[in-house]
Structure 1
Amino acid sequence: MNKYSEITPELMELADLCKQNNVIPSELYSKYDVKRGLRDISGKGVLTGLTEICEVRSYTIVDNDYVPCEGKLFYRGVDVEEIIKGFSSEERFGFEEVTYLLLFGELPTREKLEHFCNLLERKRELPPSFVRDIIMKAPSKDMMNTLARSVLTLYSYDEKADNISIENVLRQGLQLIALFPLLSVYGYQAYRHYHFGDSLVIHPPKDGLSTAENILYMLRPNKKYTKLEAKILDIALVLHAEHGGGNNSTFTTHVVTSSGTDTYSSVAASLGSLKGPKHGGANIKVMQMFEDMKNTVKNWEDEEEVSSYLSDLLNKKAFDQAGLIYGMGHAVYSISDPRANAFKQYVKSLSEEKGLMKEYRLYEMVERLAPEIIARERKMYKGVSANVDFYSGFVYHMLNLPKELYTPIFAIARISGWIAHRLEELNNSGKIIRPAYKNVAKHKDYVKLDDR
């Protein structure tokens, strides 16, 4: 370990002091009615803003009571499941159409969509020598850090970087939407080359291809992919493009944008949020859990054996001893996650193409058994269902996507939502977001240095 990364005994001692003097008694949160995580005691989010971009519906109101319902997701008022049915029935890709809808508030005509796709195509070009001078130098082991560094560096190439007019922010946003696939894939290729000695393969994006197609085209040495592979990756991008203003990374977009800072700083902050395993990195945990399950459970078709493993997960006896069944449950949805529902039918098709139906049936079994086991073990009567991360990691695995790119692909999709929310925040000229924190430390007298 180099000195830069070393944790010395002296630092350990200071860390202990830090831990000791940063403990707030849990009862004080109840005493002062603190909404931890900006949620009330029932887990419902505290209202902090208004948006027209996305609606996440998980309940209906009946006789003034909140009644859980099948989850629904609307982009600009349009049901996402209907959007997917629409472009799928015409054998089209949908991510670019969804991006247009999120940014401009209406579905594009065929002519407007074609023009928009051409616009993004023209913006898929990095500044001269950017790949050599920025991406290739000191490649990070984490692609989200690489992505954030690249975004912040692009600030230096923009003569109007600090201009926050709607016109300029839209220009910057479209540029970032177009460049995120390049930044992510090139960053991964540099990482594999410098840390593992793999051949360095840099494919420029190809005109006429969708975002999903270009990801596969640039990533694979032979540039080959099947129609179904590109279609399912496109649907994954559509489902991850937006999820309301309250999710952690999008709320970060609103908070940072409200300060009046530049687009690159705002997007980098949101990337930092999305990197967290409680947010964008969740599907990696699902994959790791299933790998452990497949190594532990002898008969994948035996419900009793699978149920026993799931119980061990909850009782901290299996996998990472965290007491969680990853991919099950969501902060908002209870009965169902519409993104998981929309994804599932295509997951089965891909499983058939890849000859992985045995694994797919295991996922199906876990999805069916886990809610019952969680209800029994946790005495939870709030509905628990599979979330989008439950299947997305399996899909990325079947697409032979490296785990290092799982969260960046989430970012490639969610940048559309972030830019839409940044434009909305700027357009409504709100106040700087500043929630209150109550100080609970007792006042103390200053003691002179020699008297301590």
Structure 2
Amino acid sequence: MQNSSAKVFDNLAITAEKNNIIRPEYYNMFNIKRGLRNSNGTGVKVGITKIADVQGYEFKDNKKIPIDGKLFYRGMKLTDIVNDFQRDGRHGYEECAYLLLFGELPTAKKLDEFNQLLDDWRYLPQSFTENMILKIPSKDIMNKLQSSVLALYSNDDNPDDISVKNLLMQSIKLIARFPTIISYGYQAKAHYFGKKSLFIHSPQRGIGTAENILFMIRPDNKYTKTEAAILDLCLVIHAEHGGGNNSAFTTHVVSSSGTDTYSAVAAAVGALKGPKHGGANVKVREMILDIKKNAVNWKDRGHLKDYLIKILRKEVFNKEGLIYGMGHAVYTKSDPRAVLLKKKALELAIEKDAMDEFNLYKNIEELTIEIFKELKGDDTLICANVDLYSGFVYEMLNIPQELYTPIFAAARLAGWCAHRIEQIVSDKKILRPAYEIVNIGNKYIPMNER
């Protein structure tokens, strides 16, 4: 951009910012629920769902009482679901996707049929890989995923049909194809922007979603049973998190307009990409790298605690004052996803001889809780959220950082599709909240008077 153009844009940016600032006192004046949150921190209820629920507190005598976190899929405890398939030594993601989509647990026969459908549709349409992914590589795989989803509209013979049968067909095809898209998107990025060899491995039948991801992103296709089991667990615990999370709510909002599946899912992908939502696990990884590089001795709890305090004081790292992977909008005493993942992460650390790294994450969790009690009082509650240990797990699996959020998207897609179907079947009204206007009365000024 030429200097004259740059100056014009600088001035335009200043003007735009100045004229878009809302005075903070207006929010209280008009009782605005900022972030769709009530004054007590609870979410504003805008709908009804049967898909999932998140519980981190309960009310007694109008007082908010912290409890151990619980996550329910279709009314069933996530911990019960996970404990069952782990006890049997089977993968659970496909079973959870079925549960979320259809509202009931599959029999062995129905699960086998569902898996066969997924295997039938894991391949991308003819020439899609070459034309959409390899010829137009992206530096950001989430954006490549989003554009690929929209492009799949053109490969659908009936893309705008919102009958339940067609919605299910579109949903299952997308669930099958997301791992392939993100794997090929990563390979294209690594090749065209990282100057690495290009590996395009065809998805395999009979191994499921988690194993296909590992198979397609690794040059040698190799992975261990423990690696596959823990990635499958990551997919299960990321599959859904209630209708109020940002990307699920986006799915409800966009679907309520009556638009097509591809537009709704692409919008959800865009929402998940943000660092305040699905991109948070990348922030955890960046924080860990900073600690390892700049802390005096990150293996020593005292030195680590000093550095964490500096992070909170906005003196180091990105100077935003946040310890990523700690705290949650709903969970207070514990995040059940983090509890499940931490247990499995320990197994992986033992297999990978990475106990020093595991202890770093464990110490961050324990020391942050300790620091918050010291700074804000013994009654202060903060817990590790799922992003803390998912960052560790992905690191141990040698999954590239740029794939962290796309894998989250591949998992969460089952929840998005379930919410979309529920919205279309049960709530025919378009979601349209109101905004308070605070500049009525501005007078139009003729051109020759400006």
Given the two structures, how large is their TM-score scaled by the length of structure 1? Answer: 0.97
**Inter-partner Cα distance in structure 1 for 2:316 and 2:374:** 18
Runs of 4+ in structure 1 over 3 Å off:
375-382
Aligned AA for 2:333?
Answer: I
Q: AA paired with 2:100? A: L
Which residue in 1 is equivalent to 2:259?
Answer: 261
8 Å contact kept, 1:334–1:382: no
One-letter amino acid of the structure 2 residue matched with residue 58 of structure 1? G
Matched, 1:30 2:36: no
- Shift of the alpha carbon at 1:147? 0.2
**Which secondary structure does the structure 2 equivalent of 1:214 belong to?**
helix
Aligned to 2:52: 54
Give the aligned CA root-mean-square deviation in angstroms: 1.5
The 5 Å alignment of 1:237-386 reads 237-377=235-375, 381-386=379-384
Out of 436-445 and 316-325, give the one that drifted further: 436-445
The match for 1:73 is 71
Quick check: 2:51–2:242 contact (8 Å CA) kept in 1? Answer: yes
Separation in structure 2 between the aligned mates of residue 156 and residue 274 of structure 1, nearest angstrom: 24
Q: Distance in 2 between matches of 1:398 and 1:420?
A: 31
* Structure 2 equivalent of residue 191 of structure 1: 189
| Aligned length in residues | 449
Partner residue in 1 for 2:428: 430
CA distance in 2, matches of 1:301, 1:143: 33
User: In structure 2, how many angstroms separate the alpha carbons of the residues matched to 1:84 and 1:349?
Assistant: 16
- Pairing of 1:134-173 with structure 2 (within 5 A): 134-173=132-171
Closer/same/farther in 2, CA of residues 184 and 19 from structure 1, 3 Å limit:
same
Which secondary structure does the structure 2 equivalent of 1:376 belong to?
Answer: helix
In the alignment, is the contact (CA less than 8 A) between 1:351 and 1:357 conserved in 2? Answer: yes
> Partner amino acid for 1:422?
R
SS, match of residue 187 in structure 1: helix
Deviation at 1:372, TM superposition (A): 2.3
Distance (Å, rounded) in 1 between the aligned partners of 2:315 and 2:340: 33
Shift of 1:380: 8.9
Residue in 1 aligned with 2:80? 82
Matched position secondary structure for 2:55: strand
Q: Does 1:97 align with 2:95?
A: yes
- What percent identity do the matched residue pairs reach? 52
1:368-422 CA distance string (max 9 Å, x none):
1102212433569541100000110110011010111100000000000000000
Asked if structure 1 preserves the Cα contact closer than 8 Å seen for 2:57 and 2:330, the reply is: no
- Which position in structure 1 is the counterpart of 2:438? 440
> Which AA in structure 2 matches 1:255?
V
Which of 166, 172, 175 in structure 2 is aligned with 1:174? Answer: 172
Q: Is the 8 A contact 2:372 2:380 kept in 1?
A: no
Q: Secondary structure at the match of 1:393?
A: helix
Q: For residues 64 and 430 of structure 1, what CA distance do their matches in structure 2 show?
A: 33
Query: Could you state the TM-score of these two structures normalised by the residue count of structure 2?
Result: 0.97
Structure 2 gap segments, 5+ residues each: none
After superposition, the Cα gap between the structure-2 partners of 1:427 and 1:442, relative to the gap in structure 1 and judged at 3 Å, is closer
Structure 1 unaligned regions, length at least 5: none
**Whole-angstrom distance in 2 between the partners of 1:214 and 1:106:** 25
Distance in 1 separating the partners of 2:271 and 2:257:
17
Question: In the aligned structure 2, how far is the partner of 1:15 from the partner of 1:301?
Answer: 45
Give the 3 Å change call, closer, same or farther, for CA 206–108 of structure 1 in structure 2.
Answer: same
Q: Is the 8 A contact 1:375 1:381 kept in 2?
A: yes
2:232 paired residue among 228, 231, 234: 234
